[in-house]
Amino acid sequence: MPKIKATKIEDIKDAQYGDLIFFTPTSSLFSRLIPVIDGSPYSHVGMYLGRKYGHNLFIESQDGVGVVINRLQEWRNYTIIRVDTPIMPISKVLEELGKPYDRKKIIAFLFNRLFGIPLIADDNHAHVCSELVNYFTYYKLAEKGNSTMRTILDNIDF
């Protein structure tokens, strides 16, 4: 898979629709385990939607919640990255709202990392955060079914 050109965005005021927002771990155990298992400095990723009613909004898939829109102001310690690849139109992105979080994918990923059991392709009925943003880029950031923060970061070039 060819590397995608990317640029780090230093100020939220410069963020644009489609920018990826990578989050560092929070205090939760689940959040801290993800980078250990994945080998990435990040534990979560979402996609910037834009500024509306004074809030910077992004779409994400959260454990126990599913695909939702959230306000960036409620988060700390994030990095914004603009990738040079097509992004789905917002009307198509919003169709993913309400889809469940893919806990089976997390278990499959864990078994893959621990025992080498192959991952299966995503079916788009449920999402973890990294496969959601990869889907929004038409699977240009990582091989379909193998979307993690690490595989995405490995496939972008700063």
Asked whether 80 and 20 are in contact (CB, 8 A), the reply is yes
For 55-91, give the secondary structure using H, E and C: EEEEEEEECCCEEEEEEHHHCCCEEEEEECCCCCCHH
Q: Which residue has the tokens 């990723």?
A: 45
Q: Which domain holds residue 37?
A: 4-157
The number of distinct structural domains making up the chain is 1
Asked whether 109 and 86 are in contact (CB, 8 A), the reply is no
d(CA 67, CA 106): 15
Q: What is the pLDDT of residues 17-66, one digit of tens each?
A: 999 999 999 888 778 888 888 889 999 999 999 999 999 999 999 988 99
Three-state secondary structure call for residue 6: strand
pTM as predicted? 0.93
Q: Residue 37 maps to which CATH number? A: 3.90.1720
Q: At residue 116, does pLDDT exceed 70?
A: yes
Whole-number pLDDT of residue 67: 98
- What is the CA angle 123-121-107, rounded to 5? 90
Q: For residue 156, list its beta bridge partners.
A: 4
Q: What is the pLDDT of residues 88-108, one digit of tens each?
A: 999 999 999 999 999 888 888
